[in-house]
Chains A and B, each alone.
Chain A
Amino acid sequence: MNTTRTDIQKGRQAHTAVNVGRIERKASMIGGAALAITGLTKMKNMKFIPGVAMMAAGGMLLYRGKTGHCDMYEAMGVATAGTEDAGLVVEKVLTINRPPQQVYDFWHDFQNLPRFMQHLDMVQKTGNSTSHWKAKGPGDVTLEWDAEVIEDTPGERISWQSLENADIPNRGTVEFHEAPAGRGTELSVKMQYFPVGGAVGKMAAKVAHGINSRQVEEDLRRLKQILETGETPTACLVPECMTTH
């Protein structure tokens, strides 16, 4: 059903000068190891998504502690949005048994995106072509950014990108093609993230690579489920999903 192409594109030159103090380095290593291990444990329990995010964050801290170099510091004040040659690219296609115009209309209202993109808390319209996005980052951190639509062809294609000072610079393009013989819409999505530049960013992206791909896949599956059936299926058996007669 899905086909995927995910690439870590060539990042900027790795930069490894020491810019973190000794005590702070040690704290980073301990905290990083704990986060990474917790992340691994979560993965084992099949709670992949937060697990991998935690592993990535933990890995980044570990790296910082070990090398004395923090890309987060380096990245501060560096605007990576719009750079063509950095970041993580996830591409997916899937077929939704609904006409292209209907799928386009649903996506075009960005406020619908958190209904199927699990990491998004909310998207709010702030202008004709601008919106404000809030996402859940690793360990309850909220990541925010403003985005602007850079291309909008009704029923066919929407592109957007984050504006300056985004917590995670990103961009996306979604295309809606009519599928053959009344099979609905072939949706193709390309998302690009630019997680804190340089070597650590690349490493984190590598760790998170599988999951980001799956996350987008699961997001699109939810979109299909909502548009086709009006709900998302669940087999939930945790106490909140049960009762007593």
Chain B
Amino acid sequence: MKAVCWHGKHDVQVDNVPDPKVLNPRDAIVKVTLSAICGSDLHLYNGYIPTMKKGDILGHEFIGEVVEVGSGVKNVTRGDRVVVPFPIACGDCWYCQHELWSLCDNSNPNAWMMEEIYGDTGAGIFGYSHLYGGYAGGQAEYVRVPFADVGLEKIAPGLKDEQVLFLTDIFPTGYQAAEQCNIHQGDTVAVWGAGPVGLLAMKSAAHMGAAKIVAIDKNPERLEMAFNHCQAETLNFEEDDVVEALHSMTGGRGPDSCIDAVGMESEGIGMEAVYDTVKQTLRLESDRPIALRQAIKACRKGGTISIPGVYGGFVDKMPMGVVFAKGLTMKAGQTNVQKYLRPLMQMVEKNEIDPSFIITHRMSLDEAPQGYKMFAQKQDGCVKIVLNPQARSQATH
């Protein structure tokens, strides 16, 4: 089969690789009908996530059709259209049983690696380094899904692939980011990063009753999307003093909640940005937390900082004094996708939110290498690329 494989920093290629097969009773094999490139895939592309190996198959946002199931899978059968959550979760450990699916004890075969780095393990993730289990990803024609009896959710009839694709990751991620803010009617929510997760966090925040949403980015197309689709007010961090502006937009209080939908490769301006870029390049700091620092400084007293953006290691110059003085709450982590699948699919069914508005590019699998480059460099107004592994390449056919 064809699969998008990591070959090194800034080097992904479409390779011919063997097909997956059922290895455990609770496995299923899914024929992928639609697969997306995630912003967090760019951390792999840019070489910031350790333990990648040449030939690793990428992709953790994908849906498809069940072609084979193991003896322990009773909830789906051959031919079912299914959503595949990006965290692999067993459903039996204490964490899964408390809806903390992304913290599953049992699904990461390389748990010891994560224990060594982070002190404990988290769930395995499709196509996201050996640290996260070394599982083959879904930017491929077929994929093996472990614990399919827990993970797979049937797609309601009548829903199009593009409407449900983002239930695999970014829609629940945006939703969890907003939910962590404990939003009350009339709240102001500021969101750093108007990419797919940020935009869906804005949509979700509005759905939860936020009265004012502020989008922070530097990319005019993205800010326009936030304005048009999420009724957000916008700030360009290259033009505005973000913290000042947020204070004046909220009567001097600051936003009730701040969402960092940027993570470890945050950009900024001036000395601070230079400082973090130099330190990260020299590997003296693994993550650049510019957006996070701003969020902490801007947030109102007693407010919440919600962090769906991915961090991998250490950050410098964290204003912990501000966190303490203002009594802030910080919440972070991978998304517990399984918790949100059903309610969010119902929301899509009822037309309350249609997350497909973020798609800007549609490609075949063969075009993935160009797609990665375009997405990394934010060319052509690229916000979200979806790949169709069953489609023929327009470039070659």
A1 to chain B, nearest CB (A): 5
Q: Is A9 an interface residue (CB 8 A)?
A: no
Contact assessment for B19 and A214 in the assembled complex, using a CB-CB cutoff below 8 Å: no
A233 and B19 form a contact (CB under 8 A)? no
- Is there contact, CB below 8 Å, between A242 and B25? no
**B133 closest partner in A (C-beta):** A235
Task: Give the one of B24, B121, B142 with max A CB within 10 A.
Answer: B24
CB distance from B30 to the nearest CB of A (A): 13
Please state if B19 and A244 are interface contacts (CB–CB under 8 Å): yes
Number of interface residues of A (CB under 8 A): 28
**A1, A230, A233 — most chain B CB neighbours (10 Å):** A233
Contacts of B142 in A (CB 8 A): 245
* Of A1, A214, A239, A242, the contact of B120 (CB 8 Å cutoff): A1
Pair B90/A228 contact, Cβ less than 8 Å: yes
Q: What sequence of 0s and 1s flags, for each residue 96-123 of chain B, a beta carbon within 8 Å of any chain A beta carbon? A: 0100000001111111100100001100
A38 surroundings in chain B (CB, below 8 A):
none
Closest to B91 in A: A229
CA distance A228 to B94 in the complex (A): 9
Partner of B26, one of A184, A224, A231, A237: A231
Beta-carbon contact of B92 and A229 below 8 Å = yes
Contact B18 A230 (CB under 8 A): no
CB distance from B65 to the nearest CB of A (A): 14
> Chain A residues with Cβ under 8 A from B94's Cβ?
95, 97, 183-184
Q: Which of chain B's residues have a CB closer than 8 A to the CB of A245?
A: 1, 19, 142
Binary contact readout B6-26 vs A (1 if CB under 8 angstroms, 0 otherwise): 000000000001111101111
CB distance A244 to B18 under 8 Å? yes
Chain A residues with CB under 8 Å of B108's CB are: 233
Residue pair A235, B135 in contact (C-beta under 8 Å): yes
How many Å lie between the Cα of A1 and that of B105 in the bound state? 9
Shortest CB–CB separation between residue A18 and chain B, in angstroms?
A: 42
- Smallest CB separation, B86 vs chain A (Å): 14
- A153 beta carbon closer than 8 Å to chain B: no
B93 proximal to A (CB < 8 A): yes
- Cβ–Cβ contact A235 & B109, under 8 A: yes
A228 touches B20 (CB 8 A): no
Given A217-B112, A233-B109, A234-B23; A1-B134 close (CB under 8 Å): no
How many angstroms between the C-alpha atoms of A244 and B25 in the bound complex?
Answer: 20
Considering only CB atoms, which chain B residue lies closest to A242 in the complex? B18
- Subset of 12 A-B contacts with CB under 8 Å: A221-B111, A221-B112, A224-B106, A228-B92, A229-B93, A229-B147, A230-B72, A231-B24, A233-B88, A233-B106, A239-B18, A243-B18
A residues engaging B (CB < 8 A)? 1-2, 95, 97, 183-184, 214, 217-218, 221, 224-225, 228-237, 239, 241-245
**Could you tell me which B residues sit within 8 Å of A by CB distance?**
1, 17-21, 23-26, 72, 88, 90-94, 97, 105-112, 115, 120-121, 124, 133-136, 142, 146-147
